[in-house]
């Protein structure tokens, strides 16, 4: 990286992240709005779920994820480098989709119109939710950049993708352990394979593809072009 590019990189690191928002966008209000939407959906979907045990198992990790995002967001805001609106919106997709899936169980989410439109043999709502897991790669890259945790662009792009693949694999282990230790019907619902013997591998792939998509979006943000120098 040239001295000029390096200077531009350091200068932009200290600039509050708003890509692709308009200058001066109220990121704090956006974060509060997204958190409020999640809490409202959580309360609504917590009323008479299809299976309370499944609801608990599906929502517990998501509540922890949301708590972690809130903590990191507040920490970054205090440092003067808040997470961008793009990162917040992308990371909100998983909690919202997963909360709906926990209410119905993923196999039973009303998604029939998509299944019929593309003549699928199963409900692919869970695949889309897994794809949204990869969106966290955008936030990870942004955090690494603003905290100056990496100086090499290719590491900045690959580490978030590898992180998502790792988390995806660990989560599949969690599902497996829950499936063999919980009530049979609840275990099957959480596993969500719908008869597909390669479900775990396809879920991990969906997570990874979401990460590639998120990093492609990150690459397109003019704000981060200095990273390519």
Q: Is there a contact between 65 and 94 (Cβ–Cβ < 8 Å)?
A: yes
What is the predicted pLDDT for the residue at 19? 57
List per-residue pLDDT tens for the chain, 229 residues long.
444 444 344 444 444 444 544 433 467 899 999 999 999 999 999 999 999 999 999 999 999 999 999 999 999 999 988 999 999 999 999 999 999 999 999 989 998 888 888 888 888 899 999 999 999 999 999 999 999 898 888 999 999 999 999 999 999 998 888 888 877 777 777 777 777 788 899 999 999 999 999 999 999 986 665 455 4
Q: DSSP letters along 19-41, please?
A: TTSPTT--HHHHHHHHHHHHHHH
Distance, in Å, from the CA atom of 169 to the CA atom of 222, rounded to the nearest integer, reads 32
Q: HSE-up of 56 (CA within 13 Å, CB side)? A: 7
What is the predicted pLDDT for the residue at 26? 61
Distance, in Å, from the CA atom of 193 to the CA atom of 212, rounded to the nearest integer, reads 24
- Global pTM? 0.83
DSSP label at 84?
P
């Amino acid at each position: 990286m040239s001295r000029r590019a390096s200077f531009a990189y350091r200068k932009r690191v200290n600039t509050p992240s708003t890509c692709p928002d308009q200058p001066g966008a109220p990121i704090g209000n956006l974060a509060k709005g997204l958190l409020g939407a999640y809490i409202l959906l959580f309360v609504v979907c917590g009323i008479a779920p299809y299976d309370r045990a499944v609801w608990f198992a599906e929502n517990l990790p998501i509540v922890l994820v949301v708590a972690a995002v809130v903590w990191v967001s507040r920490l970054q805001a205090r440092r003067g480098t808040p997470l961008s609106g793009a990162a917040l919106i992308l990371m909100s997709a998983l909690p919202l989709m997963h909360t709906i899936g926990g209410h119905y169980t993923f196999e039973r989410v009303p998604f029939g119109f998509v299944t019929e439109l593309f003549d699928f043999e199963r409900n692919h709502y869970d695949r889309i939710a897994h794809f949204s897991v990869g969106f966290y790669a955008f936030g990870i890259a942004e955090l690494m950049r603003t905290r100056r945790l990496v100086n090499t662009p290719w590491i900045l792009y690959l580490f978030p993708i590898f992180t998502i693949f790792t988390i995806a694999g660990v989560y599949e282990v969690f599902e497996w352990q829950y499936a063999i230790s919980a009530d049979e019907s609840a275990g099957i619902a959480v596993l969500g394979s719908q008869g597909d013997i390669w479900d775990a591998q396809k879920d991990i792939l969906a997570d990874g593809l979401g990460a590639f998509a998120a990093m492609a979006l990150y690459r397109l943000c003019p704000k981060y072009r200095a990273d390519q120098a």
